[in-house]
Amino acid sequence: MHPLVNIAVSAVRQASRISLHGMDIVRSHSKGPSDFTNKMELKAEQVMIDVIKAAYPNHAIAAKFTGSMPGKDITWLIDSLDGLSNFHSEIPHFAITIAIKENDRIQHSVIYAPVVDELYTASRGRGSSVNGRRLRVTNQKDLKNCTLATGFPSPNSTNGKTKMAAFTDFINQCDDLHLTGCPSLDLASVAAGRIDGFWQFGLTQWEISAASLMVLEAGGILDDMQGQAKHLTSGNVIAASPKIFKAIAKTIRPHL
C-alpha cells in the first residue's frame, strides 16, 4: 500500500471511533441531532487533520468544516461524515472519505464505512479494492436489468421538477432503484459491482472526489452529465460500466 494511503487509512480509522461513539448517543442529545453532529463532525475532522499534518506537515488540506489549509504539492480532501441524514436517524450507512490530489488529479483515495468495517482504497494505475479484494464494475449491458442508485432532490433544489422527471424515467426503465443517502458509498458500490450505475445532481467535491477514483480504477466511467469532465465543479455525476453509462446519459440528457 502506498505510504500516502497508509496515512489516509489511519486518519479515517481514528475518526471512525468518534463517529461510532456519536451514533450511539446522537438521538438523545438535548440540543438536537444537528447541533451534536456538527460538533462531532468537526472533532472527527480535526483528528484527521492531526494525523495528516503529523506525517505531512507541508501538504495542503481542504476540509468540509475547517476549510482550506495552504500547503505544497499535494492536497488532501477530507470529509468526516458523508450520509448525514442517515447518521441522524441512526441508520448505519455513512462513510468517512479522503481523496489525495496531486497535479490537479486524484491520485489516491480512501472510503471507510465504519459500521460494517469496509475499507475501500484506490491508487491511480493500481486498481481499487475493498478490504483487500479487487473491485470491478458489473458487465451488465441492458438498463432494464440494472440496479441503479441516486439521491432524491430536495423540495427547494434548483430545477427540482426536471430532476424528478429524470427520476421517473429511470423508474420505468431499470429493474431496481436505490436511494441510500450516502453518495460516496453508492459510488463505491458501483466500483464493487454491487449496483450497476449511479447518477445524482448537485453533489459536493467531498462526496465525489474519493469515490471517483474508485470507479475509474474498477473499470467504470465517471463523468458529468454532458461529457465535459466537470463533475467536481458542477456536482452532477453519472457513474457506471461503459455500456450502462451511455444508457444513463441518454436518459438524463433530455432533462438537462
* Tens digit of each residue's pLDDT (9 = 90 or more) over 88-115: 888 899 999 999 999 889 999 999 999 9
Q: Are both 3-134 and 147-255 of the same fold?
A: no
| Residue range 136-165, pLDDT digits in tens | 999 999 999 999 999 876 656 666 677 788
User: What CATH number is given for 147-255 in this structure?
Assistant: 3.40.190.80
User: What CATH number is given for 3-134 in this structure?
Assistant: 3.30.540.10
This prediction's pTM = 0.92
SS (H, E, C) 137-179: CCCCCCHHHCEEECCCCCCCCCCHHHHHHHHHHHHHHCCEEEC
Structural domain boundaries in the chain:
3-134, 147-255
